[in-house]
C-alpha cells in the first residue's frame, strides 16, 4: 500500500461530544477541544511529511442534531480560521474544502472561502476539510454535473471512465487516501468518502478525537504497514 508514510490520510474525527460529557463539560466544549486536536494533528502531519490530510468536520447527516449544536458547529470554522489562518500561512498550509458549502450560513461560507483563497498558492500540507459532506451526495452531484456536460455536448458518453469521474467529485484533484482513521470507537464509515476509500486501509481507535495525537497517528500508520508487511 504505502512504502513509508502515506501521501493522503483521512480522519473521521468522532467522539467530541462523549469526550466533553466524560469530563462533565458540554458537547460544545468537546467540539472546541476537537478543534485544538485538529491543529495538533495538522502539525503532526507536517512533521511526518504527510502531504494531504482530509478531516471530516460536518456530515450532511449532522443537520439532524439539535439546533444549538448545529449552530455551534457552523460557527466553529469562523473561529477556527480567524485564529489559525496566520499560522497556516506561516506553515505554507493550503486549505481545501470538500462538500456543499452553498447551503451553509453566509458567515461560515465566507470564513471557509477566505481561508481557501488566502492559502491557494501555498505549496505545503493540504488540509482538506470535509464540511457539509456526504459520500452519496458527492457521487450524485458528480453524476448530475457529468449528465449536464453530456447534454451540452461537452462530454462524450464513451469518454466516461473512473479517472474522468473523479474530476467531478468534491475531492477532484486529490489522490485517494491510503488510510482512513476513525476515532471514537464506532466502526462505521458514516457516509464519508465512499468512492475515494475503495482501496484504503481502515483503522479504528476507541480514543476520542480531542485526545488524538501524533503518537496515535504514527501508531495508526505503523500498524497498517506492519499488517501489510506480514501479508507480503
Ligand atoms: C464528532 O464528534 C464531531 C462531529 C460530528 C461534528 P461527535 O459530536 O459525533 O461526538 P460523539 O460521537 O457524540 O461523542
Ligand atoms: C461522523 O460522526 C461525522 C463527523 C465526524 C463529522 P457522527 O458521530 O456524525 O457519525 P454517526 O452518527 O456516529 O454515524
Ligand atoms: Mg459521533
CATH of the domain at 115: 3.40.1180.10
Q: C-alpha dihedral over 201, 207, 208, 209, to 10 degrees?
A: -50
Q: State how far the Cα of 61 lies from the Cα of 173, in Å rounded to an integer.
A: 25
Domain contains 1: no
Nearest to 21 by CA among 184, 143, 194, 188: 184
Our count of domains for the chain comes to 1
201 neighbors 1 (Cβ within 8 angstroms): yes
Q: 116: which 3 cell numbers?
A: 481557501
Q: Is the pTM of this model over 0.85?
A: yes
Establish whether 14 is a catalytic residue.
yes
Degrees to nearest 5, angle at CA 21 with 83 and 61: 70
Residue 139 lies in a domain: yes
Q: What are phi and psi of 14, to 5 degrees?
A: -110, 155
Q: Which residues contact 56 (CB under 8 A, 6 or more apart)?
A: 10, 11, 12, 13, 130, 133, 190, 192
* Catalytic-residue membership of 62: yes
Return d(Cα 176, Cα 83) in angstroms, integer.
Answer: 29
Residue closest by Cα to atom 1 of ligand 2:
190
Ligand 3 centre to CA of 190 (Å) is 9
Residue nearest to ligand 1 atom 13, measured at CA = 17
User: Is 121 among the annotated ligand-binding positions?
Assistant: no
Name the DSSP letter for residue 176. P
Indicate which residue of 43, 47, 62, 138 is catalytic. 62
Query: Known binder of ligand: residue 27?
Result: yes
Please report where in the chains the cell 473561529 appears, as a residue.
79
Q: What is the CA radius of gyration of the chain?
A: 18
Q: Is residue 215 part of a domain?
A: yes
Which atom of ligand 1 is closest in space to residue 19's alpha carbon? 14
Strand, coil or helix: 94: strand
- Cα dist from 163 to 18, 58, 85, 173, whole Å: 39, 27, 33, 10
Q: What CA–CA distance (Å, rounded) separates 134 from 148? A: 21
Rounded Cα distance, 220 and 89, in Å: 28
Q: What are phi and psi of 124, to 5 degrees?
A: -90, -145
Mutation test residue for ligand 2: of 135, 188, 190, the one with most atoms within 8 Å of CB? 190
Measured from the Cα of 13, ligand 1's closest atom is: 1
Mutate to test the pocket of ligand 2, among 16, 20, 34, 62 (most ligand atoms within 8 A of CB): 62
> Whose grid coordinates read 486501509?
201
Separation CA 199–CA 177 (nearest Å): 8
Report yes or no on 36 lying in a domain.
Answer: yes
Pocket of ligand 2 (CB under 6 A): 12-14, 56-59, 62, 186, 188, 190
Exposed/middle/buried for residue 150 (C-beta within 10 Å: 0-12, 13-18, 19+): middle
- Give the binding-site residues of ligand 1, using a 6 Å CB cut-off: 13-18, 58, 62, 73, 184
Structural domain of 165: 8-231
pLDDT tens, residue order, the chain (232 aa): 456 799 999 999 999 999 999 999 999 999 999 999 999 999 999 999 999 999 999 999 999 999 999 999 999 999 999 999 999 999 999 999 999 999 999 999 999 999 999 999 999 999 999 999 999 999 999 999 999 999 999 999 999 999 999 999 999 989 999 999 999 999 999 999 999 999 999 999 999 999 999 999 999 999 877 667 776 6
pLDDT of residue 225: 74
Amino acid at each position: 500500500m504505502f512504502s513509508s508514510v502515506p501521501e493522503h490520510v483521512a480522519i473521521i474525527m468522532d467522539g467530541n461530544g462523549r469526550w466533553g460529557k466524560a469530563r462533565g463539560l458540554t458537547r460544545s466544549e468537546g467540539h472546541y477541544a476537537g478543534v485544538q486536536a485538529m491543529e495538533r494533528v495538522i502539525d503532526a502531519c507536517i512533521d511526518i511529511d504527510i502531504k494531504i490530510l482530509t478531516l471530516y468536520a460536518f456530515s450532511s447527516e449532522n443537520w439532524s442534531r439539535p439546533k444549538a449544536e448545529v449552530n455551534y458547529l457552523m460557527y466553529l470554522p469562523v473561529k477556527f480560521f480567524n485564529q489559525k489562518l496566520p499560522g497556516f500561512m506561516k506553515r505554507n498550509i493550503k486549505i481545501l474544502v470538500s462538500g456543499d458549502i452553498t447551503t451553509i450560513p453566509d458567515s461560515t461560507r465566507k470564513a471557509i472561502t477566505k481561508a481557501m483563497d488566502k492559502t491557494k498558492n501555498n505549496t505545503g500540507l493540504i488540509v482538506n476539510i470535509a464540511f457539509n459532506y456526504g459520500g452519496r451526495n458527492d457521487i450524485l452531484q458528480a453524476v448530475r454535473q457529468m449528465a449536464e456536460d453530456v447534454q451540452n455536448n461537452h462530454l462524450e458518453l464513451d469518454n466516461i471512465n473512473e479517472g474522468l469521474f473523479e474530476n467531478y467529485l468534491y475531492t477532484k484533484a486529490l489522490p485517494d487516501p491510503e488510510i482512513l482513521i476513525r476515532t471514537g470507537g464506532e466502526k462505521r464509515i458514516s457516509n464519508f468518502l465512499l468512492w475515494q476509500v475503495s482501496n484504503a486501509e481502515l483503522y479504528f481507535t476507541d480514543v476520542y478525537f480531542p485526545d488524538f495525537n501524533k503518537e496515535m497517528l504514527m501508531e495508526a500508520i505503523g500498524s497498517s504497514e506492519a499488517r501489510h508487511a506480514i501479508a507480503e
